[in-house]
Chain A
């Protein structure tokens, strides 16, 4: 009886759709209780399910629907007026039906699902009839055909997936043919393959359109989630949605459903305050939850913002420290945004009423992973007292895109065309001039705009330092991602191709640099770069973004004037010194026993390397310190600032770390010794600003001779 099986399957699908509609209508009815259209729609929905259940010989489901119908006809006749208790009861009815449908779907029958509780609840609601004003002059049997008649056909989604795969394979084959034919001198072949190419592109676009669905498909379930969560948490929430008809590929819609639901619940549970708290803070008692969706340069952006209290960074930092994930020092070195981003760390999700309500231990880390799995990125921004915004950016089409192919070393890499602004080639000889340096950062001036540069081979962990192409030229790809513009220096720029994006397996998926992989015309696998991931990974860019982008000289100076992050340390003369954080690669603490002496210098083994060490005192030639206090020791550990210069690392031992501050350096008093940029008053004390680049400068000679550029330093441990 496979026909019946099919009908049963259809029944489950149809009933689920009906229940979705029912929930939407119920929530709408709560805000407009006198809407006869909505009530009529609800009644028809329940009636439908009842009828079908009867025919399908599902008596329990039928009985459930019937009990709902009774309440509804009383509502229709005006014997009952909708109130939260009734709405709640009917929503419970919908839940009960869903449960039963699940059972039916899995086992083909009703089994022993027990719905007596719901039936009784609805029966009680019926008794509670307080005769309200009779529904004004409506014919109880009025049927307004509000259910929209769709023009279109139903297609099995598996079939669409299959078509999509076939088109993907077609694109690959097309690429092979085009590559082959371009090497031939055969005009007919060339012409035919070009036509094939054009047709394939159109077919691909058409198929991709069939898979696009409006995000409302996901969003329309949220009013219910919001209502339930708000009730559960005792909060009042107004849900607003913008961009409901923004379209996404079907697979993306499925993938964001759960993360989005979790984020919404989180906002209501943690983000929004209670009505009392809000009133006390001068906000309206009702909190606002805004969902926005829009297309932006080949990506879809989905934002969830609330006007609540913002993320409590102190609490998160505390939790991270308690959980052993970070040390107090590390949290002190982190910027506010870094601390906010801690919510994405696994193990940091705060238990909440809502998650226990939903029964699932989903944390923000899972949300992030889910979004990253489909090639997207999640960022969060928070303002204490004002609210929090979570932003998800997802590539628009999962499968096929245009890419620019570049090389680094022996391998090719693909860059999504949407991120590419332009290509610049700086000829040999000009390279040293045109590539400028501002404070450690290589920049390129593009028509007056200063863009930070990154080298692809460096980002990939390959050897060499800011190397140029074999012919001495610099090939720069000007890219933009997440509003940040920068230049990527590559070995060679090849061509643009249409590629099929294939997902990466779990072993490599988490690498932020790569968005996926593809297969070239010659069969080789090529990795696709994630430009957003690249932008984020490049530390300077995240710094820059926090202070505004690097555009013109004036703005750059302004950035510096606004304040630089400094590490305050105790200086050798019991004075206070500060070192720009941008010069510090890492902050390490070694046990005294880990230090070794090699050739008169102190060194320590560091990640397979040997890190030469020096105290600040030994690196500053004038005014050599007289104090004999044991240096660099505090609580048994030796604190070292690791400074990187041109691929070489050196460690600077500091006595004590005092604090991290942000301070403007525009009014420095002139330096009194070399190695110091100047001095300024910080926290009431005169503080010298050390420049590690200058004082470690003598260390980057090919065979570093200790203290070559300065007068013989006082070597560590060698006390006169």
Chain B
């Protein structure tokens, strides 16, 4: 049991989805931050250096794939685990996301157990650096 809670960043412009996701991730033991816009999300990531980022595909300001590319391009944020959440299961989209460099591509609505396990896996990574 860690004293310091790990931080998670949710980048999602739909308030309802953000609220629900936040609730879930909080229950997994994270301290959760929310950004409603891709650009703000990038800012917050650089400032807060969360353990994991959950981002939507479509976003105002800067869309999901662009956000991920920006994170990977910056040494400080390169190692943060990124989950892309999307409601569309389309090979083209999946391909885009993977190319951008996401760790996981998750369909909404996600399977609670599966998501919990994924989040747990991130925390237990000792090095925190993506291979």
A interface residues with partner B (beta carbon < 8 Å): 3-4, 6-7, 10-11, 14-15, 44, 47-48, 50-52, 54-57, 141, 143, 145-147, 149
Contacts and interface: CB of A to CB of B under 8 A. Distances in A.
Contacts of B87: 47, 50-51, 54
A4 B58 CA distance: 24
Given A54-B108, A55-B109, A7 B37 contact: no
Contacts of A54: 87, 108-109
20 contacts: A6-B19, A7-B16, A7-B19, A11-B15, A14-B15, A44-B58, A47-B87, A48-B13, A48-B17, A51-B17, A52-B17, A54-B87, A55-B16, A55-B108, A56-B20, A143-B59, A143-B60, A145-B63, A147-B60, A149-B37
B36 A10 contact: no
B110 to A, nearest CB: 9
A328 to B, nearest CB: 62
Nearest to B12: A51
B128 interface: no
B90 to A, nearest CB: 9
Given A48-B17, A56-B20, 5 more contacts: A4-B23, A15-B16, A52-B17, A143-B63, A145-B59
Interface string B7-24: 000000111110111010
User: Closest 4 A-B residue pairs measured CB to CB?
Assistant: A145-B60, A11-B16, A143-B63, A52-B16
B62 interface: yes
A3 B24 CA distance: 11
Interface centre among B15, B23, B88, B109 (most CB of A within 10 A): B15
A51 B110 CA distance: 11
Contacts, number: 66
A321 to B, nearest CB: 58
Interface residues of B, number: 26
Contacts of A55: 16-17, 20-21, 108-109
A14 B23 contact: no
Interface string B41-55: 000000000000000
B101 interface: no
A52 B108 CA distance: 9
Contacts of A10: 15-16, 19
Interface centre among B14, B16, B19 (most CB of A within 10 A): B16
B14 A14 contact: yes
B58 A47 contact: yes
A149 B16 contact: no
A290 B87 CA distance: 43
A6 B20 CA distance: 10
B38 A145 contact: yes
Contacts of B15: 10-11, 14
A48 B14 contact: yes
Contact of A147 (B13, B16, B21, B108): B13
Interface in B81-122: 87-88, 92-93, 96, 108-109
Contact of A141 (B13, B37, B96): B96
Nearest to A147: B60
Nearest to B40: A149
Nearest to B92: A141
A3 B93 CA distance: 33
Contacts of A145: 37-38, 59-63
A3 B26 CA distance: 13
A46 to B, nearest CB: 11
Contacts of A11: 15-16
B58 A7 contact: no
Contacts of B16: 7, 10-11, 14-15, 52, 55-56
Contacts of B59: 143, 145
A338 to B, nearest CB: 53
A141 to B, nearest CB: 7
Contacts of B13: 48, 147
B23 A3 contact: yes
A5 to B, nearest CB: 12
Contacts of A52: 14, 16-17
Contacts of B38: 145
A330 to B, nearest CB: 59
A3 to B, nearest CB: 6
B108 A51 contact: yes
A420 to B, nearest CB: 48
